[in-house]
Amino acid sequence: MTSLWNNSLPLIGVAAGAIATVVGQYLPTRDSKARAKEAHVAAVRAELKEAILEFLKICQQVEHVAERRSRDDRYVEGSSDLTHEMAFRQRALQLVAGRDLAKAARKYQEGLNFACYNAALPGNGDVWEYMSSLRIPFLDAAKKALGLPESG
């Protein structure tokens, strides 16, 4: 019996060492994977935020054109280039945005196109009211996609 015990002790030690090694390697790997996932999520969020800001930047310029169009009731030189750039930025945003944000961006872009090329706007015809009715849903969808609280 003693010889069985003496022969078993080294095997028990080897098994315990193997278990400790596996556990010792699992914990840092798990933490490393969690950190990598967090870094990936942060990078995707930063990319989304950048696409949103680029889209908003061109939309701001197109809103200015729409305001001039509504005030002067004539075509504004350069508006075609701006609306094409806005369409490109909207499609670039679609690449990184979820369905709701992409849909809101498309509606905003289409509405601004309409405001740039049509003197008669829906509703009471106020260009700022019309553009706000497009912009606010887009901003709410963007905030939701970025995990920010909605405006109150």
**Is 33 within the bounds of a domain?**
yes
CATH of the domain at 78: 1.20.120
> Pick from 150, 54, 34, 152: which is nearest to 95 by CA?
54
Burial class of residue 59 in the structure, from the number of CB atoms within 10 Å of its CB (0-12 exposed, 13-18 middle, 19+ buried): buried
Q: Is 152 inside any structural domain? A: no
Whether 105 maps to a domain, the answer reads yes
The answer to whether 112 and 59 have CB atoms below 8 angstroms apart is yes
73 falls within a domain: yes
User: Tens-of-pLDDT digits for all 152 residues of the chain?
Assistant: 566 556 666 766 666 666 667 667 766 766 677 777 788 778 888 999 999 999 999 999 999 999 988 888 777 788 899 999 999 999 999 999 999 999 999 999 999 999 988 877 877 778 899 999 999 999 999 999 999 887 65
Q: Is the pTM of this model over 0.85?
A: no
Please provide the DSSP assignment of 27-53 as one string. Answer: HHHHHHHHHHHHHHHHHHHHHHHHHHH
Whether residue 151 lies inside any domain: the answer is no
What is the number of domains present in the chain? 1
